[in-house]
Each structure stands twice: as structure tokens, then as C-alpha cells.
């Protein structure tokens, strides 16, 4: 499996932006707006973290899949594509996490 599965998932998510919210969970999320989409990403992230803390591999995998799906919905809503994220990851590749974090503008 490669990043292609994420690209295919993103394409499906994109195609559901204009689908009927009565027949598509993804369309229903889009119809509820950015705040609800972001809330779902947060919920799935927390569930992934809890599974990780419990060292429950099966649930980490399942919750991670849910998180990636909801992240794709958020990306589509924000007009971000997976390639945008992959480019940033490539730019960071081979750079110490500490160095990379210290290079970010201070808030």
C-alpha cells in the first residue's frame, strides 16, 4: 500500500462534496460546515490517542483510518490536497524534528 490509497480516498471525498447529504455521510459532514468537520477530526484524533495509550494495536489502526478519512474531509473543505501535505513532508525529510520545529516562526 502506498500514498495512492490516500489519494483515492481524497478523490472520493471530493466527489461527495456535492452529493445528497441524505445518502452520503461525507456530504452530510460538508453540509454541517467546517466547525463540525474539524470537531470530527478532533474526536478521531482523541480516540486514536486513547487507543495508543492503551496499546490496543487493532484500535489504533482502526481509529487511524477514521482519522485519515476525516482529515481528508477537512482538507477538501480547506481546499488542501494530499499532495500539498506530501510536499511539506518531503521538505522536512532528513531534517531533525528539533531543527525543523525551531525553524518555524514564533507565535
- CA-closest candidate to residue 5, choices 99, 80, 72, 97: 72
91-103 pLDDT, tens digit each: 888 877 777 677 7
Domains of the chain listed by start with CATH number: 4-103 (1.10.287.1080)
* Grid cell at residue 82: 494530499
Would you state the pLDDT for residue 3? Answer: 80
Would you state the pLDDT for residue 11? Answer: 97
Burial class for 58, CB neighbours closer than 10 Å (0-12, 13-18, 19+): exposed
Would you state the pLDDT for residue 1? Answer: 54
Task: Please tell me the distance from the alpha carbon of residue 106 to that of residue 14, in angstroms, as a whole number.
Answer: 34
Which residues have C-beta within 8 Å of that of residue 53, sequence separation ≥ 6? none
Q: pTM (2 decimals)?
A: 0.87
Amino acid at each position: 500500500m502506498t500514498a495512492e490509497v490516500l489519494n483515492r480516498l481524497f478523490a472520493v471525498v471530493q466527489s461527495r462534496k456535492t452529493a445528497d447529504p441524505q445518502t452520503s455521510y461525507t456530504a452530510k459532514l460538508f453540509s454541517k460546515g467546517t466547525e463540525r468537520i474539524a470537531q470530527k477530526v478532533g474526536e478521531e484524533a482523541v480516540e486514536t490517542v486513547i487507543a495508543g495509550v492503551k496499546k490496543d494495536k487493532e484500535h489504533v489502526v482502526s481509529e487511524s483510518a477514521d482519522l485519515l478519512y476525516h482529515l481528508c474531509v477537512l482538507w477538501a473543505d480547506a481546499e488542501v490536497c494530499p499532495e500539498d501535505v506530501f510536499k511539506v513532508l518531503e521538505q522536512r525529510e532528513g531534517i531533525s524534528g528539533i531543527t525543523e520545529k525551531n525553524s518555524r516562526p514564533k507565535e
